[in-house]
Each structure stands twice: as C-alpha cells, then as structure tokens.
Amino acid sequence: MLNNFRQSMAWVHTWFGLVLGFVLMVVFFFGALSVFDREIDRWAIPDTRFEPQPLPSYDNLLKQVFADLKPHPVDMAATAGRVIGDLPAPETMPMVSLYAYTTHRDPVLSIGGEFGIPNQPKNPADDHLHVHGWATVDPRSGEMLPDDQLKIGSNWFYPMHYSLQWHWKNMGIFVVGLAALVMLVALVTGVIMHRKIFKEFFTFRPRKRTQRSALDLHNMSGVVALPFHFFFAFTGLLIFASFYYFPVSGTLLKPLHDRHEVIEAAHTGLPHDEAGVPAPMASVDAMVAEAKRIWAARDMAGEVGLLTIEHLNDANGYVSIYRAGSDRVALVGEGIHFKASTGEVLREDPASDPIGALNQFLTGLHLQHFEHWMLRWLYVAGGLLGCMCIATGFVFFVEKRKQEHARRGLQGCRLVDAMAVTTVTGMLLATVAMLVANRLLPEAMPGRGEWEKWTFWGVWLLSLLHALWRSRPVAQARHNPAWREQCWVMALLCVAALLLNWITTGDHLLKTLLLEPYWAVAGVDLSLLACALVAVFTARRLARPLEVKTATRVGGVVYE
C-alpha cells in the first residue's frame, strides 16, 4: 500500500510538474531577474546612470512637473471606449490626484496623475472614471525622460514574472497562479517520493549517466531551496488572491465595499469625495518636513518613498506621505496625512493588527523592497535553483523515456525535449537578445521599446523552431544537438551585449568596477560574462559522448 501511494505521488509529481513546469521555469527565471529590475533599467537606459536620489522638492520642482504632465495617449484611447461621447481635449482636463514614487535603488522618479472628465460611463458600475497620465522624471532637473525608452527590468522582466506579459483578461496572472498552486502540490509529492531526502541533499554524481546526474541535480536543487520554493509559491498566491483570484470586493460584494469606503473615510477623517469648493495648496515641503519629524520621533527616521495628493485644489484635498521602509522586511509605509489647504495633520496611520502585520511581512518578504544586498543575492540563488530543479526535471523525464519511445516509434519525448530547449536555453537567448537590441537600436528611433519587445518574442520563437528542427535524434534515443548549439549562441550574445554596452556608452567593466564604480551596470555586465562562461562550459560538456545505460530507483519507483 505504501509503495502504491508513493507511485501515485510520483505520477502526480511527474505529470503536474511537466504540464506546468514550462510556466514555472519562466516565473522562476524572471523572478530572479526581477530582484535587480531597477539595476537592469540603468543598464538599458544610459541616461539614468546616476546615483539614487531622494524625493525632490514639491514646491520648487515637482509642482511645475505635474503642471506639465498630460493624459497619456494610450489611456486616452482606452478610456474613450468606456464613456459616452467624445473626451475633451487633453489640455483642458483638470488633474484631480497625483503621485510621486521612488526607492533607495531608483535614480529616477516615477510620477503619475488622474485627470477628471465630464463623460458618463457606458457601464453604470464603472465608477472612479478618470484618464491617467504618467512619466519618468530626472529628479535633479525635473526633465521628463523619453516615453518610448523601455524599462526592460521593471516594465518587462518583472511583469513577465507574474503575468507572462499575457494581459488579455489577466489570463497570464491566472495561469501563473495555477502554476504556483501546482508547484505546491509538486513540492509535497516530491517530499513524499523521496524517503532519503537528507541523503539526497549531499548526493551528486556528475560522472554518471545523464539520467542519473540529472536526477541528482533535480533532487539536490529541490531539497536545498525547498523552503524558498514553498514560501514564494504560497506568498505569490496570497498577494494576488484578493485582487485577481477572489476579487469579491469588486464583484459580489461591490455595494458593501463602496459603502465601506465611505464609512472608512468618515472614520479616518480623509474625505471620500470632493467638496466642489476650490482651495489653494499649502506648502507640501513643510508637510514632508513634518512627516520626517514624526517618523524620527518614533525612532524611524527615513526618506519619503511615496507622495500622493487626493482631490487636488479642492477644499477636501489631502496629502499623504509614506515612508520608504527599506530598513525593514515588512511592507509598511507609516503614512502621515495632511489637509492640503492648511498643512494640518489629519491622521497618522496606526500600527497594524496581528493579521495585518503578518500580511505586510509576507508581502514585503516576497516583494523584497528592503535594503539588504546579500539577501537579494540569496533570492537570486533561490530563483536559479528553482530553474535548475525544473530544467533537470525536464531532462530526466526525456532521458527516462526516450529509449522506449524510440523502440515504439513515438514522438512524445522529441516534443518534450524541444519544449525544454525552448524554455531553458531559448528563454535565455530571448532575454540576452533583448539586451543586444537595446544597445543596437538608435535611441531616437520611434517605437524603440516595441522593437525590443518584438526582438524578445522573435528570438524565442526562432529558438522553438530550431529546437523542433534539430530534435530528430531524440526520436532515435540520442541527444538533441539544439542544447549545445543554443548554448554557443548564448555565449556569443552575452559577449556581444557586454561589448556593445562598452562601445555605445563607454562604460566598460574596468570603469564601472574600479575607475568610477557603478554597481548597477557592472553587475549586469558581470552577470553577462558569467552567463557566457557557463554557456561555454555547458556546450563543451554536452559535446562529450554518452555513457552506458543504468537503472535508478527513487522512493520505491524504478526509473530506467
């Protein structure tokens, strides 16, 4: 009975892991890159290669920047389809709220605003209807940076981690959520399968047959990072649960939610609606200084991370100032709220209750906004171990079955192997090719960011076609040469990206490491160099001849 149970768990682990393992590979890899998304942005946009800046003066700089901000054409088009009649001209839309956001890793400042419109929505349930505008600003001068420069780290790699860049009906987020749920099942079934889990922590036989070595690496990488994998799958589901997976506050309970907003506004003293009476704005800089004084009195001195103004230029307007809590794991802002027209303190956010504090801690631990570089690198290591665990699982799946499939003339292993090549080496090729395109495309080129995105998808598609084309040997129980060939291409692309950064910006490794240290750029270049070396090593290793076949037993299950 116990053996049968373990075999059942092995079946669940194998097929659940295979079906959604390709998604999990993407999630883990781009999750690892997202740990340093802001640093990748600095590499991709040379104009932003300066030191992180605190929030600049609102009164002397940001006030004029927001006055120059206009509704974004993309959101204008999206909103036009949701309202009755034509939208007014962008320059006539009044700004009704705004925000400015920065972190300890951001040289640039992200700003945005909501613009009021008189149009009525086509759907009566479509409330809070505004047109949005946003921009990236140099906080030293207030200059708005070009809008078509793609932030590859924070606007491409990071969303790829949780949405697969599949935004239609938020389908990507739902697929990633399903994959995270399946991962939890795979972790539990994996532990049940392996009775000697402690021994497997220390077992790796690189000179054995590919099947044995792949299984050793699969077990070792899974066991080493087991707490990491479980925690991040669980907290990822937790973070998105109320927004996407169970959004009852925006559907079934929407009337109750709307009523709660009004009651909460009355309780906190932060007006829910505009008064309709114009009012001037008091000094926001004075409010920022008072917020810093309050934080310092609480022994939490720090800089401002987020500034928002609601009901702008209205008697009910208020300013909310949140602390950049990079000195702690929990995602807590310690917000201080002021009456916009007078600067009077309306509210200081109280400490969270135990449930709220736990949620803030788990969210902060997943999103890692804290300032702890060693822990960030541990996150990267955990993500790459997840990639290793999944990739070796693919290899083991194919190696275990390809002899039998060859005898029976089946094509299943050939297809799985081609998909594995695409998801492992192909994904890396697409990523590095995007960086190469970033350095090759002219900065003034219209739609430059879109071309970078198409480069990413195009190279990934080419890697799939190449893997399928070269997969014939797998049907004959041999290795797919696409693994080795794509590793060589990856090494060339990594070196090309590193050299192109030097040629186009003058920021070579000697400069960014020693002469004028700038670790954001140096870190990306070093990572490219390390990736090139690993790719060369792997390609050379894959050129070695195969060993003789052996049998493997895991948890009572025999793998040929």
User: Residue 207: inside a domain, yes or no?
Assistant: no
User: Mind listing the pLDDT tens digit for each residue in 300-338?
Assistant: 878 899 999 999 999 999 999 999 888 888 887 789 999
Cα–Cα distance, 177 to 164 (Å, whole number): 11
**Are the beta carbons of 369 and 331 closer than 8 angstroms?**
yes
Residue 549 and residue 460 share a domain: yes
User: Residue 438: inside a domain, yes or no?
Assistant: yes
**Are the beta carbons of 355 and 374 closer than 8 angstroms?**
no
Residue 419 and residue 344 share a domain: no
Q: Name the nearest CA neighbour of 25 among 221, 194, 238, 242.
A: 221
Q: What is the mean pLDDT of the chain?
A: 87
Q: Phi first, then psi: give them for residue 545, nearest 5 degrees.
A: -70, 160
Neighbours of 265 (CB within 10 A): 14
Residue 141 and residue 288 share a domain: yes
Query: Which residues sit opposite 557 in a β-bridge?
Result: 554
Q: What is the pLDDT of residue 548?
A: 39
Residue 456 and residue 550 share a domain: yes
Residue 418 and residue 343 share a domain: no
Residue that terminates a domain, selected from 314, 338, 354: 354
User: Residue 10: inside a domain, yes or no?
Assistant: no
Q: Is the dihedral of CA 508, 513, 514, 516 positive or negative?
A: positive
Residue 350 and residue 438 share a domain: no
Cα–Cα distance, 224 to 230 (Å, whole number): 12
User: Residue 178: inside a domain, yes or no?
Assistant: no
**Are the beta carbons of 471 and 438 closer than 8 angstroms?**
no
Residue that terminates a domain, selected from 354, 375, 401: 354
Residue 556 and residue 420 share a domain: yes
Alpha-carbon distances of 371 from 13, 96, 100, 324, rounded to whole Å: 37, 33, 20, 10
What is the domain extent for residue 71?
A: 52-152+264-354
User: Residue 164: inside a domain, yes or no?
Assistant: no
Length of the chain: 560
Q: What is the pLDDT of residue 342?
A: 94
**Residue pointed to by tokens 């040929």:** 560
Cα–Cα distance, 176 to 31 (Å, whole number): 12
User: Residue 452: inside a domain, yes or no?
Assistant: yes
Q: What is the pLDDT of residue 204?
A: 59
Q: What is the pLDDT of residue 201?
A: 57
Residue 344 and residue 426 share a domain: no
Q: Which residues of the chain have pLDDT under 70?
A: 1-3, 5-6, 194-208, 212, 249-252, 545-560
Q: What is the pLDDT of residue 199?
A: 62
**Are the beta carbons of 183 and 229 closer than 8 angstroms?**
yes
Residue 347 and residue 427 share a domain: no
Residue 344 and residue 419 share a domain: no
pTM of the complete model beyond 0.85 = yes
Number of domains in the chain: 2
Element (H, E) at 131: strand 131-137
Residue 78 and residue 147 share a domain: yes
Cα–Cα distance, 394 to 389 (Å, whole number): 9
* E strand map for 159-245: none
User: Residue 474: inside a domain, yes or no?
Assistant: yes
* Spatial CB neighbours of 490, under 8 Å, sequence gap ≥ 6: 425, 428, 429, 432, 531, 532, 535
User: Residue 370: inside a domain, yes or no?
Assistant: no
Residue 280 and residue 139 share a domain: yes
